[in-house]
Chains A and B, each alone.
Chain A
Amino acid sequence: MAVEKEYKVIGTRPIRHDGVDKVTGRALYGADYQAAGLLHGRVLRSPHAHARIKSINTSRAEAYPGVKAVVTAADLTASQDKIVDLGEGAVNLKFMCDNILAREKALYKGHAVAAVAALNGHIAEEALELIDVEYEVLPSAIEVRAAMQDDAPLVHEDMKTDEMGKQSENSSNIASHFQHKKGDIEKGFAEADVVIEHDYVTGTVHQGYIEPHNASAVYNADGEITIWCSTQGAFNARGQVAEILQHPVSKVKVVPMEIGGGFGGKISVYLEPLAALLSKKSGRPVKVLMSREDVFESTGPTPASYVRVKIGATNDGRITAAEAYIAFEAGAYPGSPVGAAAMCVFSPYKIENGFIDAYDVLVNKAKTNAYRAPGSTNVAFATETIIDEICEKIGMDPIEFRLLNSAKEGDSRVDGPVFPRIGFIETVEAAKDHPHYSAPLEGKHKGRGTATGFWPNFAFKSSVSINVNPDGTISLVEGSTDIGGSRASIAMQAAEVLGISAESVHPTVVDTNSVGYTDVTGGSHTTYTTGLAAYEAAQDVKSQMIERAAKLWEVDAKEIEFADGIFRYVNGKEEEIDFKGLAEKLGQTGGPLMGRASVAPSGAGSSIGTHIVDVEVDVDTGKVEILRYTATQDAGKAIHPSYVEGQIQGGAVQGIGWALNEEYIFNEDGQMTNASFLDYRMPTSYDLPMIDAVIVEVPHPGHPFGVRGVGETPIVAPPAAIANAIYDAVGVRLTELPMSPERVLKALGKI
């Protein structure tokens, strides 16, 4: 479907449509919601990682002056087992309800136990201290390998293992176990000249969006609920709230406010049902906010993991077999992204003989959630550092090795799917040709590393409608929350079709009553799927406009052509009119004109990126400094290159943070001890150089402009690339993330 051609709008860099609002402080984010009579809500959370709740007494809090409502799990109807799909993974509704307010047990430190609405936030916080909860503290399971043992404390006493589709007899923290097999793994390893195998451990890492979760709600007397919140997907939030409150979905309206980052962490609802319940009880609008500590302890970070990878290759650099054991911490409820990890672990490569053994494991920590290419970074750290070691053993350049082994169109992944056209070779070649790769790197304790990251990308569902304005502009109505410039990238696709400028499109993100169903901004699908909906809606406008021109000229619509923004008739008489001219004449050709489309495409184009990094290791302090960073990535077709670069740069920096600093530190009771931005240290501007983002364009055949999602892939390669650079610099291979100063010094034998 994709054709290489010159575009007028696509590939340019217009100012984003919501830009002025966002640089003047006028854009309204979730926490900026205000209303007359607004109450402020706060949440009481379990101080224990695992405890039975023996009793909750809220009477002192209810009597406290200024308190208007208190809710506990008793205010929520207990839910049944039921699987609902949240866009980036399915969840069990019973667990989701239980996570909103703990019922019999608190399953992690930070688990919500009660919520209060009061005249202001200070009073609400004071009231939380007046809620008396009697806990019986239980032993907790806090590390994936220990939690898998038979004698581990059980997070859920009745949890059976889904053992490759069959239910186990005994209860266990292993929620599920699955395998993928391809070819003959033993034969493959027998053919290898070199076999490398290591264990890898990665810590819990948070998405770290700067805006904490928030939700405001009005529960009207007629049962109509309106929710204002920062969410990646208003429709998904609506669905969850309706299910959790057992309320008709049509009586819940979610208004998506501007959102201050999500990265996968703002798909699950946490506060929305609480705000609704508090509003119902108090009869007033209620805004509930999380503190930063709440965000760390009570929302879904990405899992800690234990991974073992073994790869065999011949002396001439051909992979003969690859095997992975992957165990992910799901947190307190099943559903870690271990499935996605299994899709990604070997996917950049052509593997004839492969075996993947994967486990989803419960621990007494907050339920994990999606975080940018969820699962892929954990396993790429293993695969990509082993490849570096193989290359060292056989004396081959890692870039050449990747070129030799890269998966191509028609190759199948170990987990089954066959690749359509992908841009792996092209991104590797772009890395190889980049001046960074051949630049001299002089000085002691400096090193260079490379790694590749893969993400399959997803195609969800989206809707767009377009109204033609009498001044020749269009209003574009969409349901995808704009987290990083997607108003622009979607508007530009409609503009391209209609031959108008990006500025002639007025995009608006609207509530769940005002547009067709649209899935979350996640899975790297927005510019692809909602962009496709905008393309189709614009096509709809175009064909209706052609009919209007036909009416105007009293000719047959079939004989009117539209190109470069001009409608033309050339058959006997010559007529032409541009989009604006015709828009002015809508009134006399039949009245208002609107186009629309809802799409549910299958098969997003996978995305691959190859990164190069130079580091310097301070062998006295163990600190690793990033000297230079280059990231190449296949974008299919970059609609707005600045925001594609921004995704690559931002993702790479999150990967750098994961590689060097970021992790949850738990004490032996399973309590997080570093729940602040001071102690959970994310990269600052001073920790980094410029990030050179190189866009490679191998069009995705399933999109009219060739778009591939770009958001997630760039986080995958950095930890492995940096580990390989550290090895090049100081000769030690690190197998644990983050590669903090302490771990570097240990590896160097200094402490």
Chain B
Amino acid sequence: MADKVHVKTVINGEAVEFLCEPRDSLLEVLRDNLMLTGAKEGCNNGNCGACSVILNGRLVNSCLVLGAEIEGKEVETVEGLAEPNKLHPIQDAFLENAALQCGVCTPGFLMAAKALLNENPNPTEHDVRFWLAGNLCRCTGYDKIVRAVLDAAETMSTEVNA
């Protein structure tokens, strides 16, 4: 077994250090080493988006990133989305629109939606559907998820303009 790697990184705004095997994926490190089990494993090969996190501002499938690769980078996970005692507007929109059933895809969709709205604050339905195509949901048929993201975009742009 190869020696463990020492990694210094920032996760949800906080400095974090950990040891991992060179072969451990970021998803494994988050879930097994750091107990951040919000990101889920649906496929472990980049096809479901349940493990979506934001790495240096970019949406990635954490199952396709190595833990050792995040040295010196910044990672955002679902655990860092809400402020203390205040949900993020995307989280509120998911609850109000009943955009989750089993909820296992939800952390991935929330991070994907956040990355979309960072890049495109006023997406059309088509934009949302295109952007979210990397995240599979088997329960909802996507209708309410798409509505939730459109609603969140509206709330967030009113908040910005207010």
Contact = CB atoms under 8 A, between A and B. Distances in A.
B5 interface: no
B145 interface: yes
A676 B47 CA distance: 8
B123 interface: no
B134 to A, nearest CB: 8
B56 to A, nearest CB: 20
Given A31-B40, A212-B42, A688-B129, A677 B136 contact: yes
Interface string B121-162: 000010011101111111111111111000000000000000
A650 B140 contact: yes
Given A642-B98, A643-B101, A688-B129, A682 B138 contact: yes
B35 interface: yes
A716 to B, nearest CB: 15
Contacts of B40: 29, 31, 210-211, 260
Nearest to B128: A685
Interface in B35-81: 35-45, 47-48, 50, 77-79, 81
A258 interface: yes
B100 interface: yes
A686 B48 CA distance: 14
A566 to B, nearest CB: 30
A735 B41 CA distance: 36
A39 B106 CA distance: 28
A121 B32 CA distance: 10
A16 B144 CA distance: 15
Given A122-B23, A677-B47, A685-B142, A261 B102 contact: yes
Contacts of A120: 32
A653 B140 CA distance: 8
A507 interface: no
A239 to B, nearest CB: 23
Interface SS of chain A: helix, strand, loop or mixed?
A: loop
B117 interface: no
Contacts of B19: none
Nearest to A33: B37
A292 interface: yes
Nearest to A484: B101
B105 interface: yes
A73 B136 CA distance: 36
Contacts of B43: 292, 676-677
Contacts of B101: 261, 483-485, 643, 646-647, 650
A29 B91 CA distance: 19
Nearest to B43: A292
B82 A211 contact: no
A393 interface: no
B87 interface: yes
A82 interface: no
Contacts of A645: 98, 143-144
Interface stretch (A18-26, A136-144, A216-224, A470-478): A18-26
A642 B42 contact: no
Contacts of B26: none
Contact of B144 (A34, A292, A642, A688): A642
Contact of B133 (A27, A647, A686): A686
13 contacts: A18-B103, A23-B81, A23-B91, A34-B37, A209-B138, A210-B136, A211-B102, A212-B41, A678-B45, A684-B136, A685-B132, A685-B142, A688-B129
Interface of B: 1, 21, 23-24, 28, 31-32, 35-45, 47-48, 50, 77-79, 81-82, 87, 91, 94-98, 100-107, 110, 125, 128-130, 132-147
Given A292-B45, A677-B47, A684-B133, 15 more contacts: A19-B94, A24-B79, A32-B31, A66-B1, A121-B28, A123-B1, A210-B136, A211-B104, A261-B138, A263-B138, A643-B98, A646-B101, A677-B45, A686-B132, A690-B125
